[in-house]
Structure 1
Amino acid sequence: MKKIAATLLWLFLLSVLTNTKSHAQQKEVKDEVIYHVFQRSFYDSNGDSHGDLNGLKEKLNYLQNLGVTSILMTPLYESVYYHNYYAIDFKKIDPKYGTLADYLNLVKEVHKRGMKIYMDMETQYVTEDHLWWRDSFGNPGSAYSNYILYDDSAQLKPSSIVFNLTELLGYDGTTRKITTVNLNNKEVQNYNLQLFKYWLDPNGDGNFDDGVDGFRLDHMMDDLDNKGILINLFKTFWVPLLTNLKSVNPHIKFMAEQADWLSYGIDYLKQGGVDAVFAFRIQQAVRTLDKKKIEAFADTTFSNTPKGKEQIMFIENHDIPRFATVVKENPGKLRVGAAINLLIGGIPSIYYGQEIGMLGNAQFGKYGKIITDANEIPSREAFEWYKEINGRGMAFWYKGTGPWWDESNVKPNDGISFEEQEQDKRSLWNFYKSLLVLRKRNHALINGDYMSFPNSNSQVISFIRASEDGHALVVVNLSDQAQHVRLNFSSVNKQLVVNQLENLFGGMKGNSVNENEITLQLKNYDVQVFKF
């Protein structure tokens, strides 16, 4: 009877999933877990307080021990700004990060370990320090006159960028004028092709062991900044660029940060030529811990994602307040966020420090009405390696520079550090690690299709991950109270019979199973995972 029930359940799930638009991860994506690192704040190898490439290499063991398989860096190129957006030179690595040799050594070491590395690129804007600006400003005869956009024929009024900004104040008092690159210019398009090709294969030998495995395309848009000037960029700029790059290395991956965070990014996947987008709507829903919102956005996200394309799951990144700040450091909510981030589907991304519950409240206008890059420093602080504030490798590049330092969330003996959490089996860090071990051991949690599963409790979310390799049920209590929940399989398929479950994660006390219904007792913020 048990074997028959298990067979019926698998046939049911297989029939449902093959007859819906649910999204399936490709077999080639084996347990990919991205670590989104703000490398200036991660680990300093040479004592100058700036996180660097050699520091990142030193901590590869840490990342692998956690369960990470891929690294996504913020931009490396030279810029006057600490975050390295708005370039001076797209091909030159910021000296504070190290040398080209340091970069190549990092990439090769990552690949030796069977890991992947992704580079963040934003070539839509340049500062007044860039060659294109310096040579063409006030000089209509410049060879670079058509490389950037001007609002006047004398080329004295460079066009604004997003939010109509013409300049940006840095946290250190540096102000630079910024303008928009003319992506419709053939020379600019060729420059981008050669630039991206260079990072694919720096020494040009056709062997990609020294090249990136993919790119994050920051602020990607079809109509740049919605100005109606640089339009149809998917067709004229992005698709030709990405197609040409894939002809060089067919395995390269492109992930787009859709500029509209309220979109699902489906047009990017269908028309923009990218392989993955960021699941902003799920991220936004998870922060509310509202069952209806999470289910609605997850259902829409996965059902509309084309086959062969990916959604990147995240609850934190470098532009938004940290999850621990949003949920006011509530331990249960931190675990619920982790569970949904890592188990709901797609490719999970962990923002550095998320795994230890680092705090930070990035917000526009936090440090005055003038837009300054200091506003995001609270969510980009030094990774907390030690119980005490100080220690080898602490990347306090912003120390003593302003109120963001005076109000720093990095404090000693507060429980928010790797040193304090590594040996504590109940810590958030070990919770992340245990979920990643669970994921690695169960293919359904890696490659399985997402399908929401109804239950009797408005405070409990439940969903199934099903693949050819198996299927798992994930049940999460979103509330601070213990909950009793029933999952009736006959409400989904009257012919379905269930009488056997294997517990993979979480307690089984008080749980029961009959022919078509599972009854679970959940502690507050409980996470339980089962294998059929």
Structure 2
Amino acid sequence: MNLMKSTLTWVATIMLAMAAFSTPASTAPPRVQSADEVFYQIFERSFRDSNGDRIGDLKGLTSQLDYLKQLGITSILLTPLQPSPYYHNYFATDFRAIEPAYGSMDDYFAFVRAAHARGLKVYLDEEFQYVAEGHPWWRESIGRPHAKYADYLLWRDPEHRIAEPFLDHATWAGYDGRQIGIAMVDLNQPAVKRYFLDMLLYWADPHGDGSGRDGVDGFRIDHMMDDLDHKGLDKNLFADFWTPMFRALKARRPELRILAEQAGWGYGQEFLTRGHADLVFAFPLRGALVQLDKQAIVKALRATAAATPPGKDQVILLENHDIDRFMSLVDGDPARARAGAAIALMLKGEPLIYYGQELGMRGRPLQNAPVSDGIQIPMREAFRWKADLAAPGSATWYQGPQRWWTERFNRSNDGVSLEEEQARPDSLYHWYRKLLALRHARPELREGSQRILCDDASAVLCILREQGARRTLLLVNLGHTDARPALDPASIGDTPWVDLLDGGAGAAVDTVLHPMQVRVLGTR
């Protein structure tokens, strides 16, 4: 019976794939309404070690799910889990396996079940536009143009001796100095399309019954493009690859959500419209937020709103695994870190917190270093569970004589650890918890409209979130001197306001704010 059921599921998957990729491209997948989610992005290798090898793993992550729930997270976004010769696990050698250092498939499903039991959603990061050296499609096809998987990759010669490389680099340097090849997948091949749909359906609905039991709640598509790397080889992907892929996934799992990392890091409008993703990352807004410049933020807010169709959304972020940590950008200034966090978590959109951001972990790429994927390790250092960096559970897999260890940002007893910050009521950690508690308690912060007030040359940013009679007003002085918000009485009405950061005490809206001071006021 199990064999028969498995065979029927496989046949149904293939039929679904064939139907999806033969449906006219104009048939969009059904829209999933904007959700009330707070994403927490985890670089798995650096999060929590469970077995003493200093490598973050799935059992370690599972052991800390209660921490994420208490912080105020709703959704976990994991960087890739597939095996890869690269430490970050992008560029896979097997798309349907788990990196052995992270654990087993049983460990993975135990993590998903444990997350779902706590009401947490799980999103997987996927990048299947390329394969790394060692993938069987490449290993078994090189020099063999008639091999089974020969047409799964793009080749520069008819003898299949030179695979089409990633970004025209024949090889790329790993952090350990090895030169590793990366080849482009031929996403136009029907067999490739069927393979990847089957693969994504496996992660989304592993039991094949549409229930989604033990399945993920969404995917992040890394480096999504319509014409991959602008080479004219994998092109028209929005219509011919991504749209039918997403449509078929949602036919099986209607509430599944797709987060597109839009190539070019623009406003992402075409990825939401022609590409039919549900969310993109608000990269231009992030560029303005980290400047803590009112005029830049206002401009980016308006452009972001204009680029976001109804029913779609933007992921609001200050950090991720590819960019400088915010605390380093503000030179360790706690007041600026608090101001940036308040704006990012109060804005319309769905916020993302990069692991350790809530502690003020620092990190920037290595400067004047040979080009390799090791230069980004400083933005991916071990999460600080204890004051002692060497404490059990610390995922310091990057130890050694290299600069990313000798010049590391995190040091024992530096005040930037969960253990130390939980003991300080005024810490950044407690600030994040307070802001996230407000977001969960105030529906207008999750679902309400957004208006920009104080639209003047002053440095005070004024954002009003509204839903029916409920209103929350964010006031942040982004200048260098004291300032008073210039609020038009007609825009805020005469309803009494209370200070949501100070126990709900009555508050006036025109109080002078010190530089980088944050006030969050609300109606009762």
Q: Give the structure-1-normalised TM-score.
A: 0.89
User: Structure 1 residue 181: deviation in Å?
Assistant: 0.4
- Quick one: which of 134, 155, 170 aligns to 1:166? 170
Question: Could you tell me which amino acid in structure 2 is paired with residue 307 of structure 1?
Answer: P
Deviation, 1:189, is 0.6
| Structure 2 partner of 1:449 | 449
Query: Contact 2:496 / 2:506 at 8 angstroms: preserved in 1?
Result: no
Q: Does 1:275 align with 2:278?
A: yes
Deviation at 1:206, TM superposition (A): 3.3
Q: Following TM superposition, by how much is the alpha carbon of 1:415 offset from its aligned partner in structure 2, in angstroms?
A: 1.1
Give the equivalent residue in structure 2 for 1:498. 494
Deviation, 1:489, is 3.6
**Secondary structure of the equivalent of 2:150?**
coil
- In the alignment, the residues of structure 2 paired with residue 236 and residue 224 of structure 1 have an alpha-carbon distance, to the nearest angstrom, of 13
Tell me, in whole angstroms, the C-alpha distance in 2 between the residues paired with 1:309 and 1:366. 40
Aligned to 1:196: 200
Task: Determine the C-alpha separation between the residues in 1 that align with 2:461 and 2:453.
Answer: 8
TM-score w.r.t. length of structure 2 = 0.91
Paired position in structure 1 for 2:331:
328
> Counterpart in 2 of 1:139?
144
CA change 1:195–1:239 in 2 (3 A) is same
Q: CA RMSD in A?
A: 1.9
What does 1:296-445 correspond to in 2, within 5 Å? 296-362=299-365, 366-368=368-370, 371-445=371-445
Instruction: State the Cα deviation string for residues 117-164 of structure 1 (Å, max 9, x = none).
Output: 0000000001120111111111111121211111111111211213x2
Question: What is the DSSP-based 3-state SS (H/G/I as helix, E as strand, rest coil) of the residue aligned with 2:318?
Answer: coil
> By how many angstroms is 1:325 displaced?
0.7
Contact 1:44/1:395 (8 A) holds in 2: yes
Structure-1 separation of matches of 2:54 and 2:279: 34
Aligned partners of 1:456, 1:367: CA distance in 2, in Å?
A: 44
Deviations 1:442-465 (A, max 9, x none): 100111122211255621111111
User: Counterpart of 2:215 in structure 1: which amino acid?
Assistant: G
Structure 1 residue aligned with 2:467: 467
Question: Partners of 2:467 and 2:307 in 1: how far apart?
Answer: 18
- The aligned counterpart of 1:62 is 67
Cα distance between partner residues in 1 of 2:446 and 2:477: 22
- The C-alpha deviation readout for 1:420-459, integer Å capped at 9, x for no partner, is 1012110000000000011111100111122211255621
Q: Partners in 2 of 1:72 and 1:376 — Cα distance?
A: 19
Residue correspondences, number: 493
Cα-to-partner distance string for 1:268-298 (whole Å, 9 max, x where unaligned): 1111011000000111101111111101001
Change (3 A) 1:81 1:356: same
Q: Does the CA-based 8 Å contact 1:455-1:488 persist in structure 2?
A: no
Report the alpha carbon displacement of residue 323 of structure 1 after superposing the two structures with TM. 0.5
Correspondence for 1:127:
132
* Contact preservation (8 Å) 1:486, 1:520: no
Identify the residue that residue 45 of structure 1 maps to in structure 2: 50
Aligned to 2:259: 255
Q: Which runs of 4+ in 1 moved over 4 A?
A: 25-28, 506-511
**Structure 1 segment 285-304 matched on structure 2, within 5 A:** 285-304=288-307
Q: CA deviation at 1:401?
A: 4.9
What is the match of residue 7 of structure 2?
none
Determine if contact 1:386/1:417 at 8 Å carries over to the other structure.
Answer: yes
Q: CA deviation at 1:198?
A: 0.5
| Cα displacement (A) at 1:166 | 2.0
| Aligned AA (1:74) | T
Structure 1 residue 508 displacement after superposition: 9.8
Percent identity between the aligned chains?
A: 42
Higher RCO structure, 1 or 2 (CA under 8 Å, sep 6+): 1
Shift of residue 62, structure 1, vs aligned partner: 0.8
How big is the shift at 1:509?
A: 10
CA distance in 2, matches of 1:61, 1:508: 28
Partners in 1 of 2:33 and 2:514 — Cα distance? 35
Report the Cα offset of residue 483 of structure 1: 1.9
Structure 1: segments with no counterpart, 5+ residues: 1-24, 513-517
Equivalent residue letter for 2:446: I
What runs of 5+ residues in structure 2 fail to find an aligned partner? Answer: 1-30
